[in-house]
Structure 1
C-alpha cells in the first residue's frame, strides 16, 4: 500500500529517518538519561541499589527492585527504541480495528516481553552469585550490549525496509499464507514484544545489573524468572501508558484515518522503525567499533 508513494520519495524519507536515528545516537547524553533513571526514579523507590541485599530485604522487595530497575531504564540507550515501536503497534490495525483489537495487540506485545524475560531471569539466576558477578564484568556487559542491540537494530532496519517496500524480492519468496500471517497486526505485535524482551538481555545499565545480582542471591531460578518478568513490565510501562492514552483518546480518529489514508500510518511506522534501527546499529555498533560516537562529549557540550 505504501507503494503508491514514488520510489524516490520513499528512499528520501528512509534516508531522513536513518539520518535522524544516527544524529540522536551521536548526540545521545547517556550520563543525563542514566542519571534520571538512577537518581530520580530508582533512588526514590529503593534508595541506593548497591546497598541492598536479598538477605536483608527478602523476596517481596525483589519485585519492587525489579519494577524500579525496569522503570529506571525507560529512557536509556538500551530501551529508548521501544518508543519507536509505538507507531507500528498503534497503527498495526486494519479497517476492522477496534479498541478490543488494539488491547489484544498490546497484550501480545507484553506476552512477548514476558516470555523472553522469564527465560533470561531463570538463566541468570541459575548462574549463582559468583556467576552473576563475573557476568556483570564491565567488558562482558558492553560486549553483550553491543551484540544484542546491534542485531536488534539490524532486524528493525530490515523490517523498516520491508515496510517501505524496498525488499519486494524477499517477500516474493514467501508463500501468500505465510506473508499474510507475518503481516498480521497480532504477529507484528508479538515480534515487537519479543524484541523488546531482548532489551533486558543486552542491558548494561548498572541498576539492572545490581538487580540480577539481588535475584541471584535468592538461589531460585523460579524467583529470578518472576522478578525478571516484573522488570520487563517496568521497562515498557511508560510506552504502555502512552499507547493506552493514544488508543483511549484517539482510537476512533485513528480508525477513520486508517480507513481514509491507510498509507500514511504505514509510512509513519516505517520511518519510526528505520530511525530506531539506525539508532541501535550506530550507537551500539559503529560508535563502539570505530569510536565515532558521543559527539556532545567530544565537542565539550556535555560534562
Structure 2
C-alpha cells in the first residue's frame, strides 16, 4: 500500500506493480496464502498455549485461574503484573502470532526518506494504535463486574467472538495485500488522490497495523487472558480496566518490539538504504507477510476452529 507519484503525471502506482509483472505477483500471492494455510493447518495450539500458561504466566503470577478471583486479596498493583503476564503469555498463541507478520512493514519503510528515525517513529505510532484499542476495550470490560464478565468469558462466547474478529481481520489483511499487488486498481482509482496518498504513507500504515494488533485483544480466547479479564472486571472501575488492558497490550507486543529494535540497531542503515534503492523488494516482502498472516487467520479461525476443517496435525496424530 505504499503509493508513489510518477514524475510529470498525476498517476499513482505501487512499487511492486511497476517492477513485477502480473503473473509473478499472482504467484507470490498464492504462495503466501498457501504458506499461511499450511501453518494454520499444522498449528499446535496445545503446545503454544501451554507454554504461555505453564512457563510464562505461572512463573510470573502463579496459577492464573486462582488469581482471577483474588482482587480483594491482591489489589491494584498485582493487576498490573497480571496484565503484562497475560499479554506476554499470549505472544505466540494463535490469536497473536500474526503480530510478527507486521515486522517487515515496520522495519522497511519504502519511501525515499527512509531512515532509522522514521522506523522508530513508525514503531511509536504502531504502539499507540495498540494502546488506543486496548484502552477502549479495557474501559468497556472494566465496567462489567464479576457476574457479567463471567458470562462474557464463557469459552463458547469467547470462541465465537474470536472467529468473527480474526476472520474479519484476516480478510482486511488479504485486501490490503491485494491492493499492494495491484489486484484492485480499478476500485482504488475511484478514491481521491489525497486519500490514497494518506493511506499509502508508511506512518499511516504503521498506525493501521497497530489498530489491528490492538483488536487481537478483543477476539482473544486464551485462558490466561480470560482469567486476567475477570480480575480486571471485578473492580468495576473502567479507568483501571483501560489502564491494565493497555499494559496487557504492551505485553503482547513486547517480544516483537525487542526484535524490531535489534533489527534497527544492527541493520537499520542497511535496511534504509536497501528500501530506498529497491523499494519493490521491501514492499513485496511486507505484502507477502500480510497475505500469509491474513490467510492464517481466515483458515484457522474461520474454518479450523469453528468447523474442525484442516486440522492436519491432529489428523496425522502428531499431537
Structure 1 length-normalised TM: 0.98
Partner of 1:173 in structure 2?
190
Structure 1 residue 164 displacement after superposition: 1.3
1:119 maps to which residue? Answer: 136
Question: How far apart are the structure 2 equivalents of 1:286 and 1:159?
Answer: 21
2: CA distance between counterparts of 1:104 and 1:255? Answer: 14
Which protein is richer in helix relative to its size? Answer: 1
Structure 2 partner of 1:72: 89
Partner of residue 104, structure 1 = 121
- The equivalent of 1:54 in structure 2 is 71
Distance in structure 2 (CA, Å) of the matches to 1:39 and 1:289: 26
Question: What CA deviation, in whole Å up to 9, does each residue of 1:140-191 have, x standing for no partner?
Answer: 0100000000000000000011111211112101111111100001100000
CA-based RMSD of the aligned residues comes to 0.9
Gaps of 5+ in 2: 1-14
Aligned counterparts of 1:190 and 1:294: Cα–Cα separation in 2: 33
* 2:39 counterpart of 1:24: yes
Mind listing any 5+ residue stretches in structure 1 that lack a counterpart?
none
Mapping of residues 104-253 of structure 1, within 5 Å: 104-253=121-270
Paired with 1:2 and 1:173, the residues of 2 have a C-alpha distance of 20
**TM-superposed deviation, 1:289:** 4.4
What are the superposed Cα offsets for residues 26-48 of structure 1, whole Å, 9 maximum, x if unpaired? 00000000011011111111110
Q: Deviations over 1:238-283 (max 9, x none)?
A: 1111111111111110111112211001000111000000000000
| 2:236 match: secondary structure | coil
Give the Cα–Cα distance (whole angstroms) in 2 for the partners of residues 287 and 30 of structure 1. 12
Runs (4+) of structure 1 exceeding 6 A deviation are none
Structure 1 equivalent of residue 9 of structure 2: none
* Aligned match of 1:41: 56
* Residue correspondences, number: 302
TM-score, L = length of structure 2: 0.93
Contact 1:29 1:294 in 2 (8 A): no
In 1, the alpha carbon distance for the partners of 2:98 and 2:76 equals 31
